[in-house]
Amino acid sequence: MSTHTFTGYIRALREQRLLDILNGIFAGTLRTDEAFLALSEVTVLTSDRKEMAVQSAYVNKANILFVRAMEGRETSGLGSRPGHKLYPFVPKQFTMVKVYVAPYTLTGRMHYGKGQQVLDVLNSGVRFFPLTSVAISSLAGSSESGVSFIAVNRGQLLSLEELGTT
């Protein structure tokens, strides 16, 4: 959200991916149209830099700009068992893109299936799409690079520039 930053835990079923939770999908088949994302043990940072802790919060998915998985945090329950693949392997390719979601600019790799293009992802039915190897810059002047994964809300996208494949 452009006015608040929420940091907390999302409950996931074993082997459920963050992107699928956001898009309401489990194992590529079952779909749910849950409008809100439930968070626990939440820290809320307001636009005027005030911080507060709350036990739980419910965020309207339509208002989320992007979601970042916190690296190095405990993720028990996420991930697959060794040797077990819940999701089939899908060959993918990527294009470097610059995404504008006010007040942020996100630069990274946009992934899509073979035979598809960037526009196919933008016109697809999913609410969130993945970016990897991301640099995040804000209008306020802060920036961060080397973010391994974020999920971008397609509905909050102002524009996207293709930078090419590398």
Q: Are residues 58 and 13 in the same domain?
A: yes
User: Are residues 52 and 113 located together in one domain of the fold?
Assistant: no
Residue 74 covered by a domain: no
Banded pLDDT at 107 (limits 50, 70, 90): very high
Domain hosting residue 23, numbered range = 4-64
Give the residue from 64, 79, 104 where a domain finishes.
Answer: 64
Task: Indicate whether 110 and 54 sit together in one domain.
Answer: no
Centre a 10 Å sphere on the Cβ of residue 104 and count the other Cβ atoms it contains. 20
Kindly tell me if the per-residue pLDDT of 87 is higher than 60: no
82 in any annotated domain = no
Whichever domain contains 13, its CATH number is: 2.30.30
**Mean pLDDT of all residues in 89-93:** 75
What CATH number is attached to the domain comprising 109? 2.30.30.100
Does residue 72 belong to any structural domain of this protein? no
Based on the domain organization, do 59 and 104 belong to the same domain? no
pTM of the model: 0.81
What was the pLDDT predicted at 2? 61
56 and 107 housed in the same domain: no
Check residues 148 and 92 and name the one with the higher pLDDT: 148
**Mean pLDDT across 122-135:** 92
102 assigned to some structural domain: yes
Q: Which of 64, 79, 113 is the last residue of a domain?
A: 64
Element (H, E) at 23: helix 18-23
5-45: pLDDT as tens digits: 899 998 877 777 888 889 887 655 555 678 898 999 999 99
pLDDT band at 160 (very low <50, low <70, confident <90, very high): very high
For the segment 111-117, the average pLDDT, to the nearest whole number, is: 88
Question: What is the domain count for the chain?
Answer: 2
Ranges of beta strands (E only) in 27-158 are: 30-31, 36-46, 51-60, 66-68, 92-101, 104-113, 128-138, 143-153
d(CA 138, CA 103): 6
Please check whether residues 60 and 108 belong to one and the same domain.
Answer: no
User: Residue 104 has what pLDDT?
Assistant: 93
**Residue scoring higher pLDDT (3 or 61):** 61
- By C-alpha distance, which of 47, 31, 39 is closest to 125? 31
Q: Across the chain, what does the average pLDDT equal?
A: 83
pLDDT digits (tens, 9 = 90+) for 45-82: 988 889 999 999 999 999 999 999 876 544 444 444 44
Whether residues 101 and 151 fall in one domain: yes
